[in-house]
Structure 1
Amino acid sequence: MISISRETLAYLVVKAREYDAQVAPEGLEDGSNAADDGQMGILESSSDNPTREELRAALEELNEDEIVELLALVWVGRGDYEASEWAEAVAAARAAHDERAVSYLLETPNLADLIEEGLDAFGISLTDEEGRL
């Protein structure tokens, strides 16, 4: 049914969760302790933060069928489709798929949660795979 490997899905969920957790940079005013600044960097959204690019690269590595399935999975997770409507969700995702699919997914709020909720609809858990990352 879902051809994307669990390891790939787990990686996408972990990276999407990191990306969703980012906040605006703070402590940039005078008096900031430069030695400590790098410790919070992974949670701060900035132009030099690699989290977005890691997620983008992982999404771009998916083949066309996988990106279509991921779109459909997100839509199932969002409640647009039921698990029983998987073929319909995939067909709609295939019709909607274009060169902006990766950007669409990057801009989807709570992407990790939607992927996991979509997988939950099929009784699939990534707990073991996420634990290995």
Structure 2
Amino acid sequence: MLDVNPDTVCRLIALARVFHAKEAVVIPEQPTSPSDDWALQVLADHEDDEAFLEFKSIIDDLEPDQQQQVVALLWLGRGDGTLEDWPELLEQAQDDWNPSTAEYLIAHPFLADHLQEALDMQGYDCE
């Protein structure tokens, strides 16, 4: 069902946990504007963070359709749909795709938990 390697998603989960565990990272629960710029603004102070740089490098190395799958996994894991809704989540991720996928993903404070939940739903395990 996934074209993106589950091991890659597991590495993203690990990096997101490291990044979000740092006290200096502050990400608002609700963005202040409806645009995606809030993610870029939040990350401006963390552009040289090693965990973020590796996270971004992995995302940037993925094909756009694989990036879209990671976004759809985020949405699935946070309850925006069920496993039966997977095709619709993918379609929405395709419609919303832009080159700032890494920033969009890492700006979600519960990214690691949501990705892990979605992998579990899909039958994959990070251990």
Question: What residue in structure 2 maps to residue 92 of structure 1?
Answer: 92
Question: What residue in structure 2 maps to residue 52 of structure 1?
Answer: 52
What is the CA–CA distance in structure 2 between the aligned matches of 1:73 and 1:67, rounded to whole Å? 10
Structure 1 runs of 4+ aligned residues shifted over 4 Å read 45-48
Q: TM-score, normalization: structure 1?
A: 0.74
What is the percent sequence identity of the aligned residues? 29
Question: What residue in structure 1 maps to residue 38 of structure 2?
Answer: none
Q: TM-score, normalization: structure 2?
A: 0.77
Q: 1:1-133 residue pairs with structure 2 within 5 A?
A: 1-24=1-24, 48-127=48-127
Deviation at 1:46, TM superposition (A): 6.0
What is the CA–CA distance in structure 2 between the aligned matches of 1:20 and 1:95, rounded to whole Å? 28
Q: Unaligned stretches of 5+ in structure 2?
A: 26-44
- In structure 2, the CA distance between the partners of 1:86 and 1:47, relative to structure 1 (3 Å rule), is closer
Deviation at 1:77, TM superposition (A): 0.2
- In structure 2, the CA distance between the partners of 1:47 and 1:90, relative to structure 1 (3 Å rule), is closer
Q: Unaligned stretches of 5+ in structure 1?
A: 26-44, 128-133
- In structure 2, the CA distance between the partners of 1:22 and 1:84, relative to structure 1 (3 Å rule), is same
1:25-67 deviation digits (Å, cap 9, x = unpaired): 9xxxxxxxxxxxxxxxxxxx86653111111111111111100
Code of the aligned partner of 2:106? L
